[in-house]
Amino acid sequence: MKAIELPHLHGVRPEQLRRIRHVALDMDGTIYLGSNIFPWTLDFLDRLRSAGIGFSFLTNNPTRSVSDYLKKLAGMGIHVGEENMYSTPIATIDYIRKTWPQARRLFMLGTPSMASQFEEAGFTACTDDADDVPDVLVVAFDTTLVYPRLCRAAWWAAQGIPYVATNPDWVCPTDQRTILVDCGSLQKCIEAATGRRPDKVLGKPDPTMLDGIRDRYGLAPDEIAMVGDRIYTDIAMGHNAGALSVLVLSGETTLETALQVEADARSHPAPAHWPADVIVRDIASLGDLLIESRR
C-alpha cells in the first residue's frame, strides 16, 4: 500500500471545508485519552471560537448525565455549557418526544446518573413492579444492573411496550482486566429471552445525534464535520448523516487500517465500512485545515 502524506483529503475540496460551520467531536481518543487531555485540545477549541465555528461533544456512553460530563470536561480545563454536549440519553429523550409525544413513564436499565437526565426532562422512572406499566422501555449501558431489573425489562419487551436502546456497543473499552458488558449485549440477552429487538437503537453509527445537532443549530448536513477516532462508529455516523467525516489518528484507528478501509471501498460497491473523507493526525491538524480554508 502506497504511503500518503497527512492530512489526507479523500477527494475533499477546499470549498467543502470552508462550508463547515459546526464540528461534532467524539471524546475519548479525540479530545482526550482516558483521563488525560491532549495538549492541543484547548488551543483547537479556541481557534474554532475565533473562526466562528461551533462545536459539540458526542458520546455513546450513557452512564453519565450531561452535568456529570460537563464536570469532567471542566476538570480538564474545557469550560462549556449544556448546549455543547450531545449524548445518547439526550438523543433518546429527543427520539421519544418525537415518536411517542404522550409518553411520560419509562422503565430504564441505566445508571442513576442517566436516569436523572430523563427525570430532569420530565419523565418518570417506573419501579420493578408488574403493575407499574411504562409507556416506553429504555435499555442502556448499566453498570448498576441487578438481575431482577433485567428480568423486568425482558417482561416489558415481551409485552410489546415501545422499546428503545441508547447505543449498539457490545462492550465498553477498559484498561482493566475485565469485560464491561455494554448495551448491545443487554439487547441480545433480552432478544434471546423474548425474541424482541429494540424498535430503535440510537448512538453512533445511527445519525440521530448529528440530526439533533443539525436541527438545534439550523444547519445543513454538509455544514457539519463529524470528528472521531473510530471508523465503525464516528466515521459511519458522519456518512449516515451526510456530514463531512474526519478521522483522527490520536485514538483507536491506525493509518494502515484507515487506508485499507479506503482500498476496500474502492473495490466493493457496498463496503463493510465507509472511508473517512479526511484523515488527520489529530484535531490540531484539522484546525489548520479549517482555518486555512477560510483565508
DSSP 35-54: TEE-TTHHHHHHHHHHTT-E
| Whole-number pLDDT of residue 10 | 82
33-62 average pLDDT score: 95
- Grid cell digits, residue 182: 455494554
The answer, yes or no, to whether residue 4 has pLDDT greater than 80, is no
What do you get for the CA distance between the two ends of the chain, in Å?
Answer: 34
Cell of 73: 470536561
Summarize the confidence of residues 183-202 as an average pLDDT: 98
Q: Interhelix angle for 147-158 vs 183-194, to 10°? A: 60
Cα angle, residue 76 at apex, residues 54 and 29 outer, rounded to 5°: 70
Specify the pLDDT at position 3.
Answer: 61
The mean per-residue pLDDT over the stretch 203-209 comes to 94
Q: 172 with 141: CB under 8 angstroms? A: yes
Provide the pLDDT for residue 112: 96
Question: What would the pLDDT profile of 136-145 be if each residue is shown by its tens digit?
Answer: 999 999 999 9
Task: Grade residue 52 by pLDDT with cuts at 50, 70 and 90.
Answer: very high
Domains and CATH numbers, the chain: 8-20+30-60+205-255+273-293 (3.40.50.1000), 90-201 (3.40.50.1000)
Looking at the chain, list the stretches that DSSP marks H as alpha helix, in order from N- to C-terminal side. 14-18, 41-50, 66-75, 88-99, 112-120, 147-158, 183-194, 208-217, 236-241, 255-267, 283-293
pLDDT tens track for 76-127:
999 999 999 999 999 999 999 999 999 999 999 999 999 999 999 999 999 9
Please tell me the number of Cα atoms within 13 Å of 49 on its side-chain side. 10
Sheet hosting strand 124-125, strand order edge to edge: 124-125, 105-109, 136-139, 163-165, 200-201
Do the strands 278-280 and 8-9 form a parallel or antiparallel pair, or are they unpaired? antiparallel
* Tens of pLDDT, residues 256-282: 999 999 989 888 878 889 899 999 999
Positive or negative, the CA dihedral 287, 232, 230, 209 is positive
Average pLDDT of the chain is 94
* Number of C-beta neighbours around residue 26 at 10 A: 25
Residue 266, pLDDT score: 85
- pLDDT at 1 > cutoff 60: no
What residues form DSSP beta bridges with 180? 172
Whole-model pTM: value is 0.87
Of the two residues 266 and 48, the one the predictor is more confident about is 48
Whether the per-residue pLDDT at 234 is higher than 70: the answer is yes
